[in-house]
Structure 1
Amino acid sequence: MTDPMPEHDEVFAVAAGAAAAVRSGHARWLTLRAMPGMGRTTLLEETVRRETADGAMAARVVHCTSAESTYPFSLVRRLLPDAGQDVPFTEQPPADEQHTFHRLGARLERIARRQPLLLAVDDLHDADEVSRRWLGYLARRPAGLPVLLLSTECLTRPALALPEAHGTSVLLRPLSDSAVARLARRAGYEAGCGAGDAATALCVRAGAGNPTLVRALLADFADLAKLSDPSTLCGGTEPAGLREHPTGPIRPPRPIPSVVHLHRYRETIARWVTERMDLVARRLCLTLAVGAVGVVGAVGGAGFVGVRDNAHITGPAGADDGSASPGTVRPTSYTAPSGPGLLSQVAAIYPGVRVPAPGSAYLAGLARLFADPLTGEAVLAASDPADLADLHLRFARLLHEQGAPATAVAAHLLHLDRPAEVWMSQCLEDAADALRDAGRPRPAAHLLRRALHGPLTPAHRATLSLRLGALELLHCSDSGVRQLRAALELHTDAAARAAVAPALGQALAAQGRTGLAVQVLHRESMDVDSTELARVLQSVSALIAAHDAVAWRDAVARMRELVSCVPTAIEPLVRALVMEYDAGAGRLSSAEAVRYILPRLSAQVHPQIRTGWLGSAATLLQWADRTQDALALADAWLPPPPAFPDLSDAGLQCLVSVRAEAALMTGDFRRVLAENDPLLKARTAQGLPMPHIVSMVALARFELGWHSAAWRLLAVPRAEHTDSSWEWNELRYARGLLHLDEGDWQAALDAFLACGTGQRARDFVSPVATPWRSGAAHALVGLGRPAQARELAEEDLGHARAWGTPRTVGRALRAHAAALGGRRGLEALSESVALLRTAPAPVELIESLTDLGRARIDAGNGRKGRADLREAHALAVRLLVPGGRTEGHARQVHGAGAQHRQASADQGGGGHESRAGAGRLVRLTEKALRAGAARVTRPAASAGEALSPAERRIVRLAAQGQTNAQIGDALHLARRTVETHLTHAYRKLGVSRRTQLVGRLKGTTGLLDTDSHHG
């Protein structure tokens, strides 16, 4: 070892000074102390070479081994091989030992008088105790003995007490970062390149300045670089040294997933722990390893927060920002130990273990060594599983007794075969609650599964199974249903079963198995003795039946029979469900619904129907444009983020849907994402499909201009063709809106008609939820079929007026105006805008204002039209500014678009995306403003003459209702070419969209060939 020698010049200087004193006839001792692997042996040998090079000093070098530590005088015998029988083979009484020490000392003095002597003893901590005492005797002899005692000792072992007056102890410092970098460069990792910097960073952090560890890491890197298929190493966790590198997660030449693949590094540490450390040091290292790694055995890639990370769960992935969310386990009297702080508890965990003194070099060395998790992982890999289990049990019991957070205790209980005592199961439960409230259902479910193996009563086991089933629905709905079914079967009491049955029913319905869900609830309602409890189950069954068209119709019929005789505590839910059906069937006005709902929100209801009643009430309030009231109910009963709602509660699921849709309706697109994106990200392919939440999140992304991200959600194939749940109709409607924005009229029409088919099967004709007729009308206008569009728009408008809210009527009027065109269309748009100004409907208002502005410009009233467009643009920009939403007329907002550009960077996409920072409505209004400012009205007779032959052919087909793709196929042109010709033609004709072509080209000879099937 030559590279790090310059960093130890001071060691050689001290040794040279001591040697000079010895050559002058004064005895000296020098001890080199360090952690394992720091190069003590190399430094000792180099010192011996330097001090004996000129022949002025003789040397006797001995390397001690633990194998000889039990044989008395074994070190002395090797230092004085010519002493023969003067060196005993057994321990002696104190008086005889002192006589022997004196006789051997005198022999050594005679040797040293002939030539100064350097006694070099490596690993003195492994020497036998008698020989150590004899060396101490020599060091205390009077000056005049020309002997230099040079020894090395490991910091993890007790030091030999020697008189400070005659010598000194030198602590070997770790290698500096620059020395480590030099070693890395010699191994081929140059600074300034990604791989070299990353390898050096890992060596600095995981090597802890230890030459042996640094060289082991570099050797492991070289082995990894030789692998022909490095992809086999990519399944582990990226080392901390790479994760935290300032330039980002740059990797060495080959991926280094975990300590498993760093063979030399792992074996070096394992050798130190098993061969070079005594029991005390091993236990200290094992204790630190358990704390340094945090919680070993993380579930599903989402690790828990353990002792090392203060054991607090206050947010996603255990983030601790100092503000605990509701339900967080955070005893204020407890401060979890971390790093070296764990040593203060070692004595309690292992009574009798010698704890290093605070500030000692030993403590500092351990802290530096265990600063990186790789070290702890290597120690654990080399440890006996039985020792590990014992340590985790000791840790868990100690932390539990000290009042540590349940998550800290559970981190250790996970390593036991099973929770053998009641307190263990309770800690696992409490930790699961904390993780659930932190928005981490999967690890929470793992903890509950472990808790179920504990000593539980049947009732307690049933309760845990119920909670576990609710948590598992997100990532494996089949497993969740099994747990809920087990919870139901564990109960023998009919009332207890009645409390569990609705959760199982809701889970089954969310899976698309509504018929089975209704059967379960019907069976349980027949088994209960209480009439009121039977009515509770029947009303909850009706709520769940909404996921199936046939079951919903039958359930509402039963509710109509019950409404006059049901108990008062159940009547609100029964009547609300009937009102939901009547509202969808067009038999109820919004005013009637609000008059019934609002006074009863504070009424006492049966506890088992409370969330169902509130979910149904919130749905009706949202439909009635009382979005703030609906959001208030949802916020009051749903857990705040990051916690997820109980998906086995049908009422809470309703409130989740209401919260998402109400936020979308009021233009709060970022709130939709903030509250629901985590829910969808936590869901797996085997979890509940949740098509309504998928639709709301997709539409929020769509409105923010993230078109591709929206399609990625909506394009996921699910079992929508066999499931008649209302949620799939919402998904079809959302797809239609995206197709409409793309100008793919036929695909939009197909999606809207599919939505309509699903809604009619449920007798849902009102446009209050999914105004599919209005959407289809816009698509038909785009296809050049205004007559069919007018028919659908008029039907939608009639149902909208029956419900009677400004949003539904204003939205239907806009579709009606698109189908009518001309003066009547302009009047319909004016009425639409006037109505929407009174409603919390910013999206619909912006769309109607934009259409009104265009229509006025087309009618020759450019001044008013451009004023409408400017107002629409200001409203659109304000929607994208955090806190900038408004429910009425908005003034011009200057510079707000730039603020949104930055906010949209994280959702990019590619494909059909808006320009950076522009949401859909901003893009829509800006396009209309540009077209309105550049509009040039030409006489109809000159319109055709302005077009080139290619443009005339394309415009003719477009006016007939063909899509760009169809035109390209017919004329053998690329779609991009078709779009370019249409853009030029629009500019020449003074139109801004395809729907205006027919009216613009009427009377132009040869351009319009009308076909009867286009209406």
Structure 2
Amino acid sequence: MIRELFADASADEQFSAKVATIVDEWLGRSRPEIVTPSSVRLMLLRGRTREAARHLRESRDAGSFLELADWVRCWYPGLSGLVPSPPAVPSFEVSTGLEGLSVLAAYFAGHDSAAAVARADQVLRACPMGESGLESLVSALATLVYADRADLAARWCEPLLEQTTSHCDPYWQGAFAAIRAETAIRQGRVKDAERCARNAFSHLPMGSWGVALGTPLAAMTIAKTALGKLEDAARYLAVPVLDAMFQTPVGLHYLNARGTYRLAAGAADAALADFLACGEFMRGWGIDLPGVAAWRLGAVRALLQLGRTGEARRLAEEQLARAEHTRTRGIALRLRAATLPLTERPEALEQAVETLQSVQDTLELAHALADAGSAYSELGDGPRARAAERRSRQLLRSCGGSPQERPGPAPGAGLSEAERRVATLAARGQTNRQISGELFVTVSTVEQHLTRIYRKLGVSRRADLPVFLD
């Protein structure tokens, strides 16, 4: 009786629950746990997916968790079958300014990027400032990022952050900073990305992020890798994460970042496994969208390092068939160029440069120009080569990125262990007879190995063996 009175006296659900618990303890009796949409959501954020799934399953028919449905569809797509289906909405209109989650859920379901961008922009214009609207703002920004419009997301981030900083919960401040880091990554501003990711961690300790921790970790890992700070990147990857994170889109960011780091560290096989795992999750969830995670591009880079050019080209062309005139398309054009005959590369790279200029990705544009410079140089077009390489260096200095190896087989890729040993000694300047004596093989065997090595590496003499082998 007293418990009911206290509960009725407060409209605050959490306060009523606390009062009811105190009264029950005073009376010496236990009561069943009150499960609310907020508590189930907290379970999911903390990675308690089995417990949360049980409550969702038990409440699905009653529809009591309808308000949680869009959130689950966005952030735990594998559990979408446990929440009510979204209503069919023929048109979209912002009435409260709180529809950001619905916009993101609709994009994941329908893959209509133009509609998603327009609706996200509506929400960002209409959403009222205040704690209740912050999740909607973050969701609308995420929609722009996933629709491959990081440029629009970046334009919105600054004014929104200025308006919310003074009265914003630390969790949302961290979320805004993490999104700013992601937009900076996608615009090739790696120094800014590093700073924004650091800000995200300053707002919220790592232990408080739950499954969302992978977002700032991924941004920081990619930023550090792009800056050439591989040891720093490895330290961030060593931070423990919840297994449940890999049931969310956050896990896609993390896998993509870890694959990027592994590729830079020379572990192409492990990197390829990460990118393919990312793709498997996305296809399984029905959100195989390049703006969420362009796993095919990462896989192409890994395949090129491994010398599997044919597979790389097929995957690059598959990505091109799925990408519009966006950043993803520009990168795919650049990577596909590495699989083409030398005479066809300049035209493909010019297309990549044009596309990347239009989406303002400084780092990827710099890499495309560097590739074009190398192609022009090999074709004997010195003036164009110097112009492209000069502009590439300027862009790298402006964004803080480090030079990237040209996409293609890593030095020594495809060599057997015996061939690698011979190539390493030959690169040091040893004669065939000296190599023969050190490896305990005949001179004829050394010559045969060198013939195969030259063919595999595309060189014609000992002096052209890559110094990487040394």
Contact persistence 2:97–2:123 (CA under 8 A): no
Q: Does 1:920 align with 2:388?
A: no
Q: Could you tell me how far apart the structure 1 residues matched to 2:67 and 2:284 are?
A: 22
Displacement after TM superposition at 1:773 (Å) = 0.9
Amino acid at match of 2:190: F
2:298 to 758, 761, 775: 775
1:512 to 27, 47, 50: 47
Matches within 5 A, 1:342-381: none
Give TM-score scaled by structure 2 length. 0.72
Paired residue secondary structure (2:302): helix
2:265 is matched with 742
Q: Could you tell me how far apart the structure 1 residues matched to 2:102 and 2:209 are?
A: 32
Contact persistence 1:826–1:855 (CA under 8 A): yes
1:219 is matched with none
1:677 to 198, 205, 215: 198
Matches within 5 A, 1:758-907: 758-801=281-324, 804-805=325-326, 807-880=327-400
Paired residue secondary structure (1:760): helix
Contact persistence 1:509–1:517 (CA under 8 A): yes
Q: Could you tell me how far apart the structure 1 residues matched to 2:70 and 2:217 are?
A: 24
1:751 to 274, 280, 295: 274
**CA gap 1:1000/1:760 in 2 versus in 1, 3 angstroms:** same
Contact persistence 2:178–2:196 (CA under 8 A): no
Query: What is the Cα-based RMSD across aligned positions, in Å?
Result: 4.7
Contact persistence 1:813–1:831 (CA under 8 A): yes
Contact persistence 1:552–1:762 (CA under 8 A): no
1:707 is matched with 230
Q: Deviations over 1:697-741 (max 9, x none)?
A: 122222233210111111334344884111112111111112222
Q: Deviations over 1:453-478 (max 9, x none)?
A: xxxx9899997979xxxxxxxxxxxx
**CA gap 1:551/1:868 in 2 versus in 1, 3 angstroms:** same
Number of equivalences: 420
Contact persistence 1:563–1:574 (CA under 8 A): no
Matches within 5 A, 1:475-874: 501=36, 503-514=38-49, 516-517=51-52, 538-552=66-80, 558-561=85-88, 568-569=95-96, 572-573=99-100, 575-582=102-109, 587-588=111-112, 590-603=113-126, 610-638=133-161, 645-647=169-171, 655-680=176-201, 683=205, 688-689=210-211, 690-720=213-243, 723-801=246-324, 804-805=325-326, 807-874=327-394
Q: Could you tell me how far apart the structure 2 residues matched to 1:732 and 1:665 are?
A: 16
Amino acid at match of 1:688: G
Contact persistence 1:559–1:574 (CA under 8 A): no
Amino acid at match of 1:683: P
Paired residue secondary structure (1:559): coil
Paired residue secondary structure (1:602): helix
Displacement after TM superposition at 1:581 (Å) = 0.7
1:151 is matched with none
Displacement after TM superposition at 1:996 (Å) = 11
Displacement after TM superposition at 1:575 (Å) = 4.6
- Structure 2 gaps of 5+ residues are 1-5, 24-34, 431-452, 466-470
Displacement after TM superposition at 1:540 (Å) = 3.8
Q: Could you tell me how far apart the structure 1 residues matched to 2:278 and 2:428 are?
A: 32
**CA gap 1:747/1:864 in 2 versus in 1, 3 angstroms:** same
Q: Could you tell me how far apart the structure 2 residues matched to 1:780 and 1:824 are?
A: 20
Contact persistence 2:214–2:245 (CA under 8 A): no
**CA gap 1:540/1:996 in 2 versus in 1, 3 angstroms:** farther
Q: Deviations over 1:895-947 (max 9, x none)?
A: xxxxxxxxxxxxxxxxxxxxxxxx423xx4xx88xxxxxxxxxxxxxxxxxxx
Identity of aligned residues (%): 24
**CA gap 1:563/1:616 in 2 versus in 1, 3 angstroms:** farther
Amino acid at match of 1:541: A
Contact persistence 2:94–2:126 (CA under 8 A): no
Matches within 5 A, 1:886-965: 919-921=401-403, 924=404, 958-960=412-414
**CA gap 1:543/1:713 in 2 versus in 1, 3 angstroms:** same
Contact persistence 2:99–2:136 (CA under 8 A): yes
**CA gap 1:715/1:727 in 2 versus in 1, 3 angstroms:** same
Amino acid at match of 2:217: V
Paired residue secondary structure (2:275): helix
Q: Could you tell me how far apart the structure 2 residues matched to 1:732 and 1:543 are?
A: 22
Q: Could you tell me how far apart the structure 2 residues matched to 1:606 and 1:677 are?
A: 25
**CA gap 1:632/1:777 in 2 versus in 1, 3 angstroms:** closer
- Structure 1 gaps of 5+ residues are 1-456, 467-483, 492-499, 529-533, 881-918, 929-954, 986-994, 1008-1015
Give TM-score scaled by structure 1 length. 0.36
Q: Could you tell me how far apart the structure 2 residues matched to 1:653 and 1:580 are?
A: 24
Contact persistence 2:193–2:220 (CA under 8 A): yes
Displacement after TM superposition at 1:598 (Å) = 2.6
Q: Could you tell me how far apart the structure 2 residues matched to 1:623 and 1:811 are?
A: 16
Q: Could you tell me how far apart the structure 2 residues matched to 1:605 and 1:671 are?
A: 28
Amino acid at match of 2:66: Q
Contact persistence 2:73–2:105 (CA under 8 A): no
Contact persistence 1:485–1:504 (CA under 8 A): no
Q: Could you tell me how far apart the structure 2 residues matched to 1:800 and 1:526 are?
A: 39
Displacement after TM superposition at 1:851 (Å) = 1.4
Contact persistence 1:765–1:799 (CA under 8 A): no
Displacement after TM superposition at 1:506 (Å) = 3.8
Q: Could you tell me how far apart the structure 2 residues matched to 1:609 and 1:856 are?
A: 55
Contact persistence 2:230–2:265 (CA under 8 A): no
Q: Deviations over 1:617-657 (max 9, x none)?
A: 2122224454354235444555777998443x7xx776454
Q: Could you tell me how far apart the structure 2 residues matched to 1:505 and 1:634 are?
A: 29
Paired residue secondary structure (1:730): helix
Displacement after TM superposition at 1:795 (Å) = 0.9
Displacement after TM superposition at 1:792 (Å) = 0.9
**CA gap 1:957/1:863 in 2 versus in 1, 3 angstroms:** closer
Q: Deviations over 1:244-291 (max 9, x none)?
A: xxxxxxxxxxxxxxxxxxxxxxxxxxxxxxxxxxxxxxxxxxxxxxxx
2:435 is matched with none
Amino acid at match of 2:48: R
Displacement after TM superposition at 1:569 (Å) = 4.1
Q: Could you tell me how far apart the structure 2 residues matched to 1:570 and 1:563 are?
A: 18
Q: Could you tell me how far apart the structure 1 residues matched to 2:148 and 2:76 are?
A: 26
**CA gap 1:683/1:997 in 2 versus in 1, 3 angstroms:** farther
